[in-house]
Amino acid sequence: MAGQLTVVPQNGNIIKGQPFSVVVLITNEPGILDTVNISVDTPPGVTLIKKFPPLIARGIISQQLIFQADDSNGDHEIKFTADSTSKPKGQATYHPVNNPDLNPDTCVLRGAAAYLYDAKPVELTGQPPCGTNPFVSASINPMLKQGGGAISNYDIPLRTTAPLRIFTEGMDEIFPYKIDQENQYYYYLIQKASKAAVNLKIYATQQTRGFVELDTIFNDEEYNQKQTIFITTVPTNVSSSLEPPGIEETLLSSTLTRPDQADEFTVMVPSYETAQIGDFIIGFVTDDKENVFKTELFAGQITGEEDGYYKFKAAYSDLYSGDNHLCFITTDQTGMPVRSKFNYINYDNGGINGPSSFDGHRTLVAPEVYDQYGLFIGRHNPININSIGTKGLEVWLPSDINNPDHTIAAGDKITIKVYISHCVDTISPIRPLPIVMVKTVQSTDITNGYYKALITPDKLMGYDRADGYAVGLLTIEYSRLAQKQKSKIYTRSFGTVAPGEGDSLV
Domains of the chain: 4-97 (2.60.40.10), 104-232 (2.60.40.10), 237-348 (2.60.40.10), 368-505 (2.60.40)
pLDDT for position 262: 84
Q: How far apart are CA 228 and CA 302, in angstroms?
A: 14
CA distances, 101 to each of 29, 139, 195, 263, 404 (Å)? 44, 20, 15, 35, 16
Give the 3-state secondary structure of residue 370: strand
Which amino acid is located at 165 in the chain?
R
Percent of the chain with pLDDT over 90: 83
Q: What is the DSSP string of 9-54?
A: SSEEEEETTSEEEEEEEEES-TT--TT--EEEEPPTTEEEEEEPPP
Question: How many whole angstroms from its chain centre is CA 171?
Answer: 16
pLDDT for position 31: 86
Where the chain has pLDDT below 50, the residues are: 503-506
pLDDT for position 260: 79
DSSP conformational letter for 387: H
Closest residue by Cα to residue 237 from 304, 138, 330, 307 = 330
pLDDT tens digits, residue range 367-395?
A: 999 999 999 999 999 999 999 999 999 99
pLDDT for position 334: 80
Closest residue by Cα to residue 497 from 472, 475, 479 = 472
Which amino acid is located at 461 in the chain?
M
Q: How far apart are CA 6 and CA 89, in angstroms?
A: 8
Contacts of 469 (CB under 8 A, 6+ apart): 351, 422
Contact, 174 vs 189, CB < 8 A? Answer: yes
Q: How many CB atoms lie within 10 A of CB 364?
A: 21
pLDDT for position 363: 93
In 100-164 the beta strands, taken as DSSP E runs, fall at 110-111, 115-117, 136-140, 154-160
Pairing of strands 19-27, 46-51: unpaired
pLDDT for position 124: 87
Report the DSSP beta bridge partners of residue 159: 187, 215
pTM of model > 0.75: yes
pLDDT for position 1: 61
Alpha helices in 376-486 (DSSP H): 385-388
pLDDT for position 468: 87
pLDDT for position 351: 87
pLDDT for position 504: 37
pLDDT for position 333: 81
